[in-house]
Amino acid sequence: MSHLQGKRALIIGAAGRDNMGQVIARRLARDGAQVFVSGRHEDELARLSGEVQGGYTVCDITQRQDVERLAEACVAQLGGIDIAINATGWGLLKPFEMTTDEELERMTQLQFTGPFKFFQAVLPRMNDGGSLVQISSATATIMLENHAAYMGTKAGFDHVIRCLANEYGHRGIRANSISPGFTETPMTAAAASIPGIKEIYQSCYPLGRLGTSEDIAAAVSWVCSDECFMTGQNLQINGGLTLRRNPMLAEVDAAAIKATGKPRPRPWESNK
């Protein structure tokens, strides 16, 4: 396919080996876009940019100077920005009352204030008719225990995306968010490796399987194309999960006990 031919795409959150941002970058390049990737790890960015024949710049999304420099570098190398995608995230699992001030500040910076700064840097440099995409989460809509800081910041930024859709529609710029469910990525690898865990989550999906990064990348590719006449929406690309629910912690423990004889490890207990 080449429906993104001539489009120039900036993706932040693509510095982890085979993470969702990298899969998205590969898909957009395959569909014809020029791709510029960013994140905090230069070695991975250099490797990926070579793979997709694009460019890269190291960037910490929480730093104003970094995101401004990133947007400028993308324009300098590609000649403009037609697509901007935020794929950053931190999957903190911790009970509400145990979440520290430091963790709350880090989460807010990474998943709310940082994306705000990123899109502020991008929009003045974006071509009319462009596309903004925020990678959100099904948990911004439905519940998952011990995930409040993550869920709250994702949900909050979904509403910012609606604001951007409203404010920049006169320029033909579309802004949408995409919500995966439990997706097998490097961030979820530890949980997915526990016997019985994937099966208990999979039972919650009407389509009968967990999502993949490739599923998300396919949705991103369409949302970024000129075929997409949609803005201000949250696409639930998660096999129908929001028609049901995530499993409760007790159900996850029961599945783990059945498979291994002991409950799933709790990260906040192992870090004591």
* Domains of the chain as residue ranges with CATH: 8-186+210-240 (3.40.50.720)
- β-sheet bridge partners, residue 254: none
CB 56 within 8 A of CB 38: yes
* Residue 128 DSSP SS3: strand
Tens digits of per-residue pLDDT, 28-80? 999 999 999 999 999 999 999 999 999 999 999 999 999 999 999 999 999 99
Measured distance CA(256)–CA(250) in Å, rounded: 10
Cα dihedral: 67, 178, 246, 185 (round 10):
-60
The per-type count for the chain, helices as H runs and strands as E runs, is 11, 7
> What tokens does 246 get?
């995530």
Q: List, in order, residues 6 or more apart from 69 with CB less than 8 Å away.
A: 57, 59
CB 142 within 8 A of CB 245: yes
Sign of CA dihedral 149, 92, 104, 110: negative
Tens digits of per-residue pLDDT, 74-101? 999 999 999 999 999 999 999 999 999 9
Listed residue (172, 152, 65) closest to 117, CA to CA: 65
Q: Write the single-letter amino acid at 120.
A: Q
Averaged pLDDT for residues 133-156 = 97
Question: Any idea what the Cα angle at residue 210 is, between residues 209 and 216, rounded to 5°?
Answer: 120
| pLDDT value for 49 | 97
